Structure 1
Amino acid sequence: MHPDLESRVSRKLMWRIIPFVMLLYFVSFLDRVNVGFAAMTMNKAIGLSATAFGLGGGLFFIGYFLFEVPSNLILHRVGARIWIARVMITWGIVSAISAFASGPASFYVLRFLLGVAEAGFFPGIILYLSLWFPTRQRAVAAAWFMAAAPLSTAIGSPVSGAIMQLPPMFGLADWQLLYIIEAVPAIVLGFFVLKLLIDTPAKAHWLHDDEKAWLVGKLAEEASEKRAHAGHTGAALSALRDPRVLALALIYFGTSAGLYTLGIWAPLIIKQFGFSALETGLLTGVPSVLAVVAMVLWARHSDRTQERTWHVVLPCLLACAGFVFAGEAGSAFAIVAALVLANVGISAAKAPLWAMPSSFLSGAGAAAGIAMINSLGNLGGFVGPFAIGWLKSVTGGYAAGLYVVAGTLALSAAVTLLLGRKSANEQGKPLVRPHH
């Protein structure tokens, strides 16, 4: 095989697939966490305490958890194009209806339904990328896709902050306008998915015949190698029982607790220092810009060295330190600096972590296993925000909740290390630190 052919295919995959799925995730993440900005006036308007807000913010992930595996198995059967379009249109509708929450009960119901509607999107795209990108490019592809989350915070936070400063229009308050305005792109993009997303490389009209043949052959060869490997899991039920899947879910739990604590609570934590909604949006966005850079560089290093364990452990420990420092911080500068550490750590851990499942899962096993990791792991998105809200009601401050989230990230680092040691022992290889 001519090396030029591989690089040509890689470039085409990166340009044809990644920008579009990034845009989809950008909108997805925005609609998940804009509740943090809406809370500036919504909580008082509909009577939400800190505990009630934390509970509602986290209920998204209960709906997500319950419908994640079924959703990804349906995607595996009907194809990404139809199913991702369905997901986006329904979550956009639910997100817009959230503008009409009238009290704690309706807020809880709508957050739960948003999770149900969006279930399957993230693991669906991760599965989709594994159907297109060979192993050597997978962490970088996943990193670019997942960079949309911190980018969504970096760009979306100032936009959300600006919307929250709009005067009432059409009888709608600022927080209601926020929900409706930011729901529209999801619905519109859902229809674009039907036109632009292609289910498999064999159907890619933008690949030349030799490029298509090489890519299909390479992916088939890798799938065959996985099937031949003793630790390979290809059946859905086997994947759900695989202890490695449960371990990865526990690791992802900590990163999710951190990510959604930042997404849902960071605006309120920063605003307590007296900033306007727009200033809060800008300051919330700063750590996310740095996180994007760290995420892509760290994923490249992980792909180049083909090392995953330490590429997850070290960022989790950095994020843990960031949340501890945030609990101690007494000034706006110290809080933003601490949030930089937390953001960078959480973002850098994600791509190497999501490169791990495809090393031992394929087919229906990959669809079920990836969805299980994401659904169980995303329960951290319930625990983190809820712990912050409940402990704030009990203690009057954010520190105790931030320490709990730090603890989940320390646990993620420990489990990753144990999983890496077990895997290295099975393969008869030493567990080595990432080298430069």
Structure 2
Amino acid sequence: MPMPAVATETPALARENTVYRKVVRRIVPFLILCYVASYLDRVNVGFAKLQMSDDLGFSEAAYGLGAGLFFIGYFILEVPSNLMLQRVGARTWIARIMISWGLVSAAFIFVTNEATFYVLRFLLGAAEAGFYPGVILYCTYWFPSYRRARVIAMFMSAIPVAGIFGNPLSGWIMDHFQGVNGWQGWQWMFLLEAVPALLVGVVTLFYLDDDVRAAKWLTDEEKSVVERAVADDTTHRTVDGRVWEAFREPRVWLMCFIYFCFVMGQYALTFWMPSFVESTGIEGNFAIGVLSAVPFLAALVAMNLFGRSADKRRERRWHLVIPSLMGAVGFSLSAVWNGSTALSLTALSIAAAGVLTCAPLFWSLPTAFLSGTAAAAGLAMINSVGNLAGFVSPYMIGALKDATGSASIPMHVLAVSLVVGAVAVLTTKKHVVNR
């Protein structure tokens, strides 16, 4: 594929690079920490399933429905939440989101039947609504589009990091706390893994700045460098202004469709990875957790390599198409190699490297043409509609597994979804998104 030439570094660009290294060091590691806490509380239900389904008598479809109901609450409140973030400021609103989802996540210790499971999954999605698109919007305040793919890839490294450390941790908690105080291991897991969200939520109130002007750790000259870079970048955006402009923009709906295709694969992995690994014959929650971390290690490497390359070359479309096709190949191979742990992990690693790389690179597309209030509404709408795949995907897998007794058919469905998403990416205009 043709790649644009890499720009030569001028003195002005060198100064900008220096300032942005400081900005990245201050903001990005903290946002990663926030997202690790978020993702851990969102998907640890995949590990809880290993015990909870048997304890409470859940079918595969019931688990899949409960896992997916998170995204219905998420969908309903996503746009209002992002508009509220723009109104009250990122610091206050992100802290509110984290504290509320930590409380709801801890409440999962009280799940006794399908109804309470469904209600709490819905409430967890409602509590967390706005966090992810809010962070994406927050990044547009600080980073021009030609720096954003790498930054968002670094931020979304939280997904594989949560898998690398969270999966073994979840397995260890469930094994070692089983029966303590009369509780099941999965109850202890929900309670203990809610604590980081509560603590980091409180710290957010004191650490995060609403915008560049509020950053006391930057000099006035450094603030001007950042503001100038962001201001120069927004001149090419074609959708700005009122909320409803985002809803009327056909490109926003195309972005919703593309993101839906990619999210189908993302949540298939995060909700079902422990079950996929267990189905190859592995026993013991900790062993399953350790092996489940392997595909996320592959994803961590891939998503940062692709993000760095996309920004360096200022090319977006093919950097998104290639990992989506990798994900499709990985899912197809996992359907064929499901009888071997080693081969299955290889296939799942290819799938994870592809699928999880798509998410950060995808957001370079809509942020290339959205700005202002339209960006707050548009990004939230894209994320909420796309994340409906988080409802469809786990429920589809559970229902097909109940109906057929095999995970092969849903793997092929996921592969097709990723191929369709890749084709849709190629319909975008490269002069708009390659910035």
TM-score when scaled to structure 1? Answer: 0.94
Stretch moving more, 322-331 or 232-241: 232-241
Q: What is the correspondence of 1:267-306 to structure 2 with a 5 Å cutoff? A: 267-272=274-279, 273-306=281-314
Counterpart check, 1:21 vs 2:31: yes
Counterpart check, 1:377 vs 2:379: no
Give yes or no for contact 1:69–1:120 (8 Å, CA) kept in 2. Answer: yes
Aligned-residue offset at 1:178: 0.4
The number of residues matched between the two structures is 421
Q: Which of 237, 248, 260 in structure 2 is aligned with 1:241? A: 248
In 2: Cα distance, 1:395 partner to 1:404 partner: 14
1:67-109 CA distance string (max 9 Å, x none): 1011001101111111101100110000000111110111011
In 2: Cα distance, 1:41 partner to 1:116 partner: 25
1:210-264 CA distance string (max 9 Å, x none): 11112112222322x135xxx3333211112211111111111122111111111
Q: For residue 363 of structure 2, what is the aligned residue in structure 1? A: 354
Q: Which of 248, 258, 273 in structure 2 is aligned with 1:266? A: 273
Give yes or no for contact 1:265–1:385 (8 Å, CA) kept in 2. Answer: yes
Q: Which of 185, 192, 208 in structure 2 is aligned with 1:197? A: 208
Q: Partner of 1:165: helix, strand, or coil?
A: helix
Q: For residue 425 of structure 2, what is the aligned residue in structure 1? A: 416
Aligned-residue offset at 1:173: 0.7
Q: What is the correspondence of 1:36-435 to structure 2 with a 5 Å cutoff? A: 36-166=46-176, 167-223=178-234, 225-226=235-236, 231-272=238-279, 273-329=281-337, 330-419=339-428, 423-424=429-430
Give yes or no for contact 1:59–1:382 (8 Å, CA) kept in 2. Answer: yes
In 1: Cα distance, 2:360 partner to 2:41 partner: 22
In 2: Cα distance, 1:373 partner to 1:3 partner: 32
In 1: Cα distance, 2:321 partner to 2:146 partner: 21
Q: For residue 4 of structure 2, what is the aligned residue in structure 1? A: none
In 1: Cα distance, 2:50 partner to 2:297 partner: 23
Give yes or no for contact 1:87–1:121 (8 Å, CA) kept in 2. Answer: yes
Give yes or no for contact 2:240–2:373 (8 Å, CA) kept in 1. Answer: no
In 2: Cα distance, 1:33 partner to 1:310 partner: 29
Gaps of 5+ in 1: none
Give yes or no for contact 2:274–2:292 (8 Å, CA) kept in 1. Answer: yes
In 1: Cα distance, 2:227 partner to 2:282 partner: 56
AA partner of residue 71 (structure 2): F
Aligned-residue offset at 1:328: 1.3
Give yes or no for contact 1:226–1:232 (8 Å, CA) kept in 2. Answer: no
Give yes or no for contact 2:333–2:347 (8 Å, CA) kept in 1. Answer: yes
Give yes or no for contact 1:5–1:211 (8 Å, CA) kept in 2. Answer: no
1:379-426 CA distance string (max 9 Å, x none): 11111111110000000111111122112111111111122xxx24xx
Q: Runs in 1 of length 4+ with deviation above 4 angstroms?
A: none
In 1: Cα distance, 2:284 partner to 2:241 partner: 52
In 2: Cα distance, 1:279 partner to 1:255 partner: 29
Give yes or no for contact 1:234–1:361 (8 Å, CA) kept in 2. Answer: no
1:320-369 CA distance string (max 9 Å, x none): 11111111112111110111011000122222211111211111111011
1:1-30 CA distance string (max 9 Å, x none): 633321221111110000000000011001
TM-score when scaled to structure 2? Answer: 0.94
**What is the aligned-residue RMSD (CA, Å)?**
1.4
Aligned-residue offset at 1:135: 2.0
In 1: Cα distance, 2:360 partner to 2:278 partner: 31
In 2: Cα distance, 1:410 partner to 1:63 partner: 28
Aligned-residue offset at 1:204: 0.8
Give yes or no for contact 2:239–2:245 (8 Å, CA) kept in 1. Answer: no
Give yes or no for contact 2:71–2:388 (8 Å, CA) kept in 1. Answer: yes
AA partner of residue 157 (structure 2): A
Aligned-pair identity (%): 45
AA partner of residue 207 (structure 1): L
In 2: Cα distance, 1:269 partner to 1:140 partner: 30
Q: Partner of 1:170: helix, strand, or coil?
A: helix
Q: Partner of 1:221: helix, strand, or coil?
A: helix
1:302-324 CA distance string (max 9 Å, x none): 11111111111111111011111
